[in-house]
Amino acid sequence: MRMYVQSRTLGPPTDAGLCRQIDDASFAHGSRVLLHVKFGRMAPQPWSKRASLGLLATATATLGCAGLGEYVWADALPETPTNVADEYRLAPGDMISVRVFNQESMSGRARIRPDGRVTIPFVNDIPAAGHTTQDLARNIQDQLHDFIKQPVVTVSLEEVGQAQLSVLGEVTRPGVYPLERSQGVLRALAAAGGLTEFAHKDRIFVVRPGAPKRIRFSLERLSTPGSRSALFRLQTDDVVLVQ
């Protein structure tokens, strides 16, 4: 993440706290800003106290508020092309049928495991999640060339698995919810009853299995049509966490 250096003048510390003030001011375009902090109008204070406040604020801006951990803003993620007519891609929990022409012993039904793989006779484990049925059929055909001359494989989707995600933290009804295809973060928050009165509207995170950092959102950007936050799509086993 890039680091910028800026000089900001803040008003007197508010009821929300110095940490909240600094955190709100210390980001630009999804990147951490190293602030040289000054305070505007304040009640008369000894010079030493004003200097201490500035030092504390600068340190807070540099390190961030405790508990946020490493993250990347959703609007800073690389843009991904979207296609409303995109074919369905297999996911863990889906039941598929694999038919090998004239090879009944190699044909059958199988459910995609949580690790995204499926077990096929002679081929053993092969990645399936994230592929279309046509892609998977071609991959299986390639694997069977060592056993069958010119194999012909057909893969069809028989049953869509029930995908789930968790919504935790400062929401009205934390819990595990069904995940619909192409569901966004805002809809997941709505299913959980929305934010509580104690929630920070700019501390909404998605924790994705295998991702090195959490993905951070603000309610304002989630509610902005066309923003990358609004277009972000959840995946099975994602965790939405509101602080």
The pLDDT assigned to 124 comes to 83
Whole-angstrom distance, CA of residue 120 vs CA of residue 113 = 12
Whole-angstrom distance, CA of residue 220 vs CA of residue 243 = 15
Q: 């993620």: which residue's tokens?
A: 77
pTM of the model: 0.57
pLDDT in tens, 120-163: 888 889 999 889 999 999 999 999 988 888 899 999 999 888 88
Angle between helices 18-25 and 47-63 (to 10 degrees): 60
What spatial distance separates the first Cα and last Cα of the chain, rounded to whole Å? 22
The pLDDT assigned to 3 comes to 41
The pLDDT assigned to 15 comes to 42
Q: 């071609």: which residue's tokens?
A: 138
* Percentage of the residues of the chain whose pLDDT score is greater than 70: 70
Cβ burial, residue 7 (10 Å; 0-12/13-18/19+): exposed
The pLDDT assigned to 127 comes to 94
Q: What are phi and psi of 144, to 5 degrees?
A: -85, -5
Radius of gyration, CA atoms only, the chain: 25
Q: 């201490």: which residue's tokens?
A: 52
The pLDDT assigned to 162 comes to 81
The pLDDT assigned to 118 comes to 93
Structural domains present in the chain:
4-63 (no CATH), 72-79+163-242 (3.10.560.10), 95-159 (3.30.1950.10)
Give the chain's residues under pLDDT 70: 1-67, 80-86
Q: What are phi and psi of 60, to 5 degrees?
A: -65, -40
